[in-house]
Amino acid sequence: MKQAACILFLVMLAGGLNVSAQKKTIAQRVDSVLRLMTLEEKVGQMNQYNGDWEATGPITKDGDKQNQIRRGMLGSMLNVTGVEHTRQLQQMAMQSRLKIPLLFGQDIIHGYRTTFPIPLAEAASWDIETIRQSARVAGKEAAAAGVHWTFAPMVDIARDPRWGRVMEGAGEDPYLGSLIAAARVKGFQGRHLGDTDAVMACAKHFAAYGAAIGGRDYNSVDMSLRSLWEYYLPPFKAALDAGAATFMNSFNDLNGIPATANSYLLRGVLKGKWKFKGFVVSDWGSVGEMINHGYVKDNYEAARAAAIAGCDMDMESRSYIKNLVTLVKVGKVPLTVVDEAVRRILTKKFEMGLFDDPFRYCNDARAAKEWDNPANLATAKKMAEKSIVLLKNAGGLLPLSRTTKTIALIGPFIKAVRDNLGFWSYEWPDDSSRIVTTWAGVSKKVGDGTTLLYARGCGVTDSSRAGFAGALAAAQNADVVVMQVGEARDMSGEAKSRSSIRLPAVQEDLIKAIQATGKPIVVMINAGRPLIFNWVADNVGAILYTWWLGTTAGDAIADVLFGDYNPSGHLPMSFPRAEGQIPVYYNHFSTGRPAKNDSDLYYVSAYTDLPNDPKFPFGFGLSYTNFSYSDIRLSSAVLRPDQSITATVTVTNTGKMDGEETVQLYIRDLVGSVVRPVRELKGFQQVSLRRGEKKTVSFTIKPDDLRFYNDKLEYKFEPGDFRLYIGGNSRDVREAAFLLKAD
């Protein structure tokens, strides 16, 4: 009894309940807790279990969790949320010998109570500040619900739309991806880690998970270190520089070594070269899955390999909790490895203020305030509007007039409720009254003079044509038809790779049938990835890419359909013409035999049955107005190592509406010691232009912007000729040339 009281006193001292202890630095406080811990308790801190909220991976049946919490054998739980629930479990942790608080982690990927557009859709806004605000709202809502830590942002560069998780990232470009990664981290973490309206971010999946061979989830990754550094690592570095508190391993092996035990990635790059001070969590079960990879024989070896490589916390594989104590005792894992991991984990718990008050994120008043906060919904609507991409608008079919007499709304998503949410979203019991469907959004928008007709037409994945007749009748009675087709919310996401990314089942046939009526058609496509829809693109009048837009989807869609918001989104990924083209991405190399044009097939690098270029290029997106670009004016055609040059264009709104353009700057290094991409995004600016207005837009180019990784992995620029491109997408650009001169 006496001994227990003494330990409690020491922990209070270390934890800061004593005033003089407040003056200690966090490092000192961590060390004083560490000194009190047994080896078993240390290993417990490196252990994370799934709660019972829901499972986001294969479940291991284990009835002993609560007991383990009370014995201090658990550092963190995932999928536990809500004030009441987190409080209950934290109370159990407070019954443990040292009363070390639990961390509650959760996949808050695109919103918690308020669902935002999926991250790929948000990336299409190219609006970094609004993306930050989106993550800010998600962070606030989650922190108010007892969550300390989100497993986001997912910053994996992805060039393969067959991979279902493209929906979760920012697309194919490392420059745009890096800006978005940093914005999301800042949004989640707020002004200061430890504020009760902020959660810890987690940059994932480290690393190169998006390059799974064949686009099949969890598959191997085989790539040069140059590609890794040039395309896949920059968003992680940006997340780290923005202060990301944690990192998560990826499931894949990278060049034969599973990322979970990849000491090059974890100790060499992340904790070594980049000096990351936070902690690394494995992905769900990924420590144990190294047995399936064929990298280790059993969980004992798995625990050893992952811990030594620098994976600090084991999510759900139980390899650490079952083996690390023994591994340390027999000398196969140095105690310093365990101490370092625990030190990193405890540091974050201190920074989050959990040692001062383990219940500080469990606050009913805050939870109630954030639960249905109208300001959060307003941010979600703004984000949703900015995420929509106008891909085609023949003859100015859009925006629709509010005085249109009869509009037929046809398709499986017009009245769909939960499909608006997307894969990584939470379902709430009152969703059906909260989520704005397209039908509801449009109904609110039109006046009494407009009649709306509805027909579902067909399902998403079933091949019944029974609804075609009703849809045709609705179309025939309408002045204009608005269709909404695409993927259901669970068709893109984790473990949702698809070998065919066409419009599923009979949806394209339904569009063809409606098109045959001769009525003008607007097609909206809901999806978590770039889909292939060539016939639609070539034949219907107008196309809006509407992704999965979240709680306010229908309101945002109605605003865009009727011109209250002029679409401004631009594609963050190239859209292929056929699966056989994949991967198709804009920043590719030239070849020794580049094709001059689509009909040039004479011993050149081309498909004999398909053009090389994508159906819609990276950066593409139309507006209801038009923008024209002047020629580029360069402040100098020569750039010297310690100087900069300025490239300026005048952009004019030549159409009939006010609008916003995303002016994009691309550069090509014509000759390099290693070959360079034909184009690389180096900057962009969003400009609002009133009808008829013109503005000059300038970009400053410094030699540092021209650095790349050479064959020795040195990040350098090389003198020589460069080409510079400015335009509204990666294809339709103005061009200028400059020379980078050595001193």
Site string for ligand NOJ, 486-505 (x = CB under 6 A): --------x-----------
Comparison of 251 and 562: residue with beta carbon closer to ligand NOJ: 251
The DSSP secondary structure of 238-260, one letter per residue, reads: HHHHTT--EEEE-SSEETTEEGG
DSSP 411-430: STTSS-SGGGT-SS----TT
Amino acid identity at 251: F
Minimum distance from residue 56 beta carbon to ligand NOJ (Å):
3
Q: Which is nearer to ligand NOJ, 101 or 169 (CB)?
A: 169
- Should residue 107 be labelled a site residue for ligand NOJ when binding is judged by CB under 6 A? yes
The tokens describing 174, both together, are 């490392």
Among 32, 56, 196, 406, binds ligand NOJ (CB under 6 A): 56
3-state SS string for 118-176:
CHHHHHCCCCHHHHHHHHHHHHHHHHHECCCEECCCECCCCCCCCCHHHHHCCCCCHHH
| Catalytic site residue from 283, 312, 555, 559 | 283
Q: Is 284 in the site for ligand NOJ (CB under 6 A)?
A: yes
Q: Which of 165, 171, 112 is nearest to 143 (CA)?
A: 112
Task: Write down the least CB distance from residue 352 to ligand NOJ, Å.
Answer: 19
Classify 698 as helix, strand or coil. Answer: strand
Which residue, 156 or 669, is less far from ligand NOJ as judged by CB? 156
Cβ contacts of 667 within 8 Å, gap of 6 or more: 679, 680, 682, 701, 705, 706, 722, 723, 724, 725
Tell the burial category of 515 from Cβ atoms under 10 Å away from its Cβ (0-12, 13-18, 19+).
Answer: buried
Q: Which is nearer to ligand NOJ, 204 or 445 (CB)?
A: 204
Closest residue to ligand NOJ, judged by C-beta, is 56
Closest separation between CB of residue 137 and ligand NOJ, Å? 20
Q: Which is nearer to ligand NOJ, 40 or 62 (CB)?
A: 62
| CA torsion through residues 74, 79, 82, 88, sign | negative
Contacts of 67 (CB under 8 A, 6+ apart): none
If the CB atoms of residues 320 and 562 are measured against ligand NOJ, the closer one turns out to be 320
Residues in contact with 9: Cβ distance below 8 Å, sequence separation at least 6, in sequence order: none
d(CA 651, CA 693): 8
Cα separation of 83 and 76, whole Å?
A: 16
**Which residue's CB is nearer to ligand NOJ, number 56 or number 652?**
56
Instruction: Collect all residues with Cβ–Cβ distance below 8 Å to 260 and sequence separation of at least 6.
Output: 249, 250, 251, 282, 283, 286, 287, 289, 290, 306, 309, 311
Q: How far is the CB of 370 from ligand NOJ (least distance, A)?
A: 22
| Least spacing, CB of residue 290 vs ligand NOJ, in Å | 15
Pick 169 or 504: Cβ nearer ligand NOJ: 169
Collect all residues with Cβ–Cβ distance below 8 Å to 702 and sequence separation of at least 6.
Answer: 639, 643, 644
Min CB(285)–ligand NOJ separation in Å: 8
Task: Single out the residue of 126, 151, 413, 565 in contact with ligand NOJ (rule: CB under 6 A).
Answer: 151
Q: Residue 628: what are its φ and ψ, rounded to 5°?
A: -115, 150
User: 380 and 552 in contact (C-beta within 8 Å)?
Assistant: yes
| Of residues 655-684, those binding ligand NOJ (CB under 6 A) | none
**How many Cα atoms are found within 13 Å in the side-chain-facing hemisphere of 635?**
13
Query: Cβ of residue 57: shortest distance to ligand NOJ, in angstroms?
Result: 5
Between the alpha carbon of residue 263 and those of residues 59, 74, 575, the distances in Å are 28, 25, 36
The number of angstroms, rounded, from the C-alpha of 370 to the middle of its chain's C-alpha atoms is 23
Choosing from 110, 140, 204, 668, the residue that interacts with ligand NOJ (CB under 6 A) is 204
* Count of residues that bind ligand NOJ according to CB under 6 A: 9
- Where helices occur in 427-549 by DSSP H, the ranges are 431-434, 438-445, 468-476, 507-515, 534-539
CB of 110 to ligand NOJ, least distance (A): 13
Cβ nearer to ligand NOJ, comparing 164 with 486 = 164
The closest alpha carbon to 154, from 248, 265, 225, belongs to 248
CB of 546 to ligand NOJ, least distance (A): 25
Query: Closer CB to ligand NOJ, residue 57 or residue 194?
Result: 57
Minimum CB separation of residue 79 from ligand NOJ in Å reads: 7
Q: Cβ closer to ligand NOJ: 283 or 301? A: 283
Give CA–CA dist 377/123, Å, rounded.
19
Give the x-and-dash track for 532-571 against ligand NOJ (CB under 6 A). ----------------------------------------
519 sits in which H/E element? none
What radius of gyration, in Å, describes the C-alpha atoms of the chain? Answer: 27
Q: Is 312 a catalytic residue?
A: no
Question: Looking at 283, 289, 370, 385, which residue binds ligand NOJ (CB under 6 A)?
Answer: 283
* 236 contacts ligand NOJ (rule: CB under 6 A): no
> In angstroms, what is the minimal distance from the CB of 107 to ligand NOJ?
5
Helices (H) and strands (E) in the chain, counts: 24, 27
The residues carrying an active-site annotation are 283
Residues found near ligand NOJ in the complex (CB under 6 A) = 56-57, 78, 107, 151, 204, 283-284, 494
